[in-house]
Amino acid sequence: MSNNDNRNFVEQIADIDTDFPKWYTDVVIKTQLVDYGPVKGTMVIRPYGYAIWENIQRELDKRFKATGHKNAYFPLLIPMSFFTKEAEHVEGFAPEVAVVTHAGGEELAEPLAIRPTSETIIGNMYSKWIQSYRDLPVLINQWANVMRWEKTTRPFLRTSEFLWQEGHTAHATEEEAMDETMKMLGVYKEFAENCLAIPVICGRKTEKEKFAGAVATFGMEAMMKDGKSLQAGTSHYLGQNFAKAFEIKFLDKDGVQKYAYTSSWGVSTRLIGALIMAHGDRRGLVIPPVVAPVQAVIVPIAAKKGGVMEACRKIKCDLESAGVRVELDDSDSSPGWKFNEWEMRGVPVRIEVGPRDLEAGKVVLFRRDTCAKDAYSLENIVAEVGALLNSVQKDMLECARARRDARIVDADTLEELLKGVDAGKFVRAGWCGCRECEDAVKAQTAATARVFAEENTHEKCVVCGKPAKHSVFFARAY
């Protein structure tokens, strides 16, 4: 019976090795993380998916507050005229904007954009709030929905509307604003690695790939299981660009009126797509414990045998008291069916409670990441589960890191670069710094410049052979 269940179940998901895109769609839909909304390109984040987002929010929000930021909320609708105040910004965002033209039964005097990002409206408010150096720095974050009209969409990865946080800060000096930009990139990296168990490569982006209106954009890139890169977060140093466009000026200590320096930084529900594609396997999701909606599931074996359900309930109660997010699956399905279901849903630890093990004072713990299982003493079960969750969290990161590091190669020629990305690798190569060579890489390999490596370890540009200004990570990307 449980073998049949097993077979039927696994057949529901496309094979991860032969059809990764279909595997992704199958997994997000069948595990009820998400569903398609009635308007093309929109998604509904279902409770199981939203619970991951709540855990992400909790962890990030804690870190933002620990670094001195406060949350606020700015309006959804932005006058279209605001966008034209920063030349690069309007060019980058105007084509993707959704526009409100009518409201309250009347046509509006000025059309309003649904925010694709909030630098403009926040800049407008900061110009009112900031008068003196005493008002600086301003360190504000917003949790909000944003909208960017996209032609091709995929749940979590690219949808018309998505949820995110956007930090917006203003400072008296260039140095402070730059420090903030790098500090928040560091917060993202630490969060990605310690909470999502995703190793990331951080670095500066090229002019072509930077945020529209920024002086410099720094990104963090994560390798997915198909070898493609996913931009998992960005931090922008905006210089005085938005300060000049929105008149964010302050009277400095020296009595001189100056423009402020600003930064912005954000991550989104895209991170859920990142963790699915960084950790998932043929059985489905593998969710790191820190952000897993359910960290441990208890499955009774031969539930009708004396003592089994009582033991399950006691374990649940003890784990809950210890702060573990735990569920007891007491439904009518067979244990085999439950195993498959909870494996597909990526629950980090399964606790199997059967009469024979119980007699021996033991239960079986299964860990989702390695699919290993072993018997443990029932007496220490709370400590054992806690320790196992810690191991899963740590090992998932190390495993992902080893997998990624084995798939980073260097290239000296375009042919090598192409061979690398065809094999699902990140390719580090020299770049002269000119747009033509960057475009040539894309045209010939479908890979884009993700971020600059910290050090320049290449002598020549992979395209033109001129001296390399940067070593760049190239990859195909989501």
Query: Where do contacts with a copy of itself occur on this chain (CB under 8 A)?
Result: 35, 37-39, 42-47, 49-51, 53-54, 70-79, 82, 94-105, 111-112, 114, 121, 124-125, 128-129, 140, 144-145, 147, 149-151, 160-161, 163
Identify which of residues 138 and 381 has a Cβ nearer to a copy of itself in the complex: 138
| Residue owning tokens 């933002």 | 64
Give the nearest distance from C-beta 82 to a copy of itself in angstroms: 7
Q: What is the DSSP letter of 467?
A: B
Give the nearest distance from C-beta 334 to a copy of itself in angstroms: 16
Give the nearest distance from C-beta 182 to a copy of itself in angstroms: 23
Give the nearest distance from C-beta 340 to a copy of itself in angstroms: 19
Q: Report the distance separating Cα 284 and Cα 176, nearest Å.
A: 44
Give the nearest distance from C-beta 269 to a copy of itself in angstroms: 8
For 462-478, the DSSP string reads TTT-SBPSEEEEEE-B-
Closest C-alpha to 231, from 205, 208, 207 = 205
Give the nearest distance from C-beta 97 to a copy of itself in angstroms: 7
Identify which of residues 274 and 353 has a Cβ nearer to a copy of itself in the complex: 274
Identify which of residues 250 and 426 has a Cβ nearer to a copy of itself in the complex: 250
Identify which of residues 43 and 400 has a Cβ nearer to a copy of itself in the complex: 43
| Strand arrangement of the beta sheet that strand 161-171 belongs to | 70-71, 138-147, 161-171, 261-268, 229-239, 216-223, 200-204
Q: Are 114 and 100 in contact (CB under 8 A)?
A: yes
Q: Report the distance separating Cα 203 and Cα 362, nearest Å.
A: 49
Q: Are 311 and 328 in contact (CB under 8 A)?
A: no
Q: Are 288 and 348 in contact (CB under 8 A)?
A: yes
Helix (H) or strand (E) holding 35: strand 34-36
Phi, then psi, of 304 in degrees rounded to 5: -80, -15
Give the nearest distance from C-beta 171 to a copy of itself in angstroms: 17
Q: Are 82 and 99 in contact (CB under 8 A)?
A: no
Give the nearest distance from C-beta 221 to a copy of itself in angstroms: 26
Identify which of residues 127 and 206 has a Cβ nearer to a copy of itself in the complex: 127
Closest C-alpha to 352, from 375, 322, 370 = 375
Identify which of residues 327 and 416 has a Cβ nearer to a copy of itself in the complex: 327
Give the nearest distance from C-beta 165 to a copy of itself in angstroms: 13
Q: What separation in angstroms does the CA of 404 have from each of 172, 227, 229?
A: 40, 8, 11
Give the nearest distance from C-beta 74 to a copy of itself in angstroms: 5
Q: Report the distance separating Cα 72 and Cα 91, nearest Å.
A: 27
Give the nearest distance from C-beta 151 to a copy of itself in angstroms: 7
Contacts of 281 (CB under 8 A, 6+ apart): 16
Q: Report the distance separating Cα 40 and Cα 25, nearest Å.
A: 16
Q: What is the DSSP letter of 41?
A: T
| Residue owning tokens 């930077």 | 210
Identify which of residues 122 and 220 has a Cβ nearer to a copy of itself in the complex: 122
Identify which of residues 142 and 181 has a Cβ nearer to a copy of itself in the complex: 142
Phi, then psi, of 390 in degrees rounded to 5: -60, -40
Identify which of residues 35 and 422 has a Cβ nearer to a copy of itself in the complex: 35
Q: Report the distance separating Cα 351 and Cα 365, nearest Å.
A: 5
Identify which of residues 77 and 408 has a Cβ nearer to a copy of itself in the complex: 77
Alpha-helix runs per DSSP H in 197-268: 241-246
Count of CB atoms situated within 10 Å of the CB of 284: 26
Identify which of residues 78 and 432 has a Cβ nearer to a copy of itself in the complex: 78
Q: Which residues pair with 259 in a beta bridge?
A: 249
Phi, then psi, of 362 in degrees rounded to 5: -130, 160
Give the nearest distance from C-beta 227 to a copy of itself in angstroms: 30
Identify which of residues 74 and 133 has a Cβ nearer to a copy of itself in the complex: 74
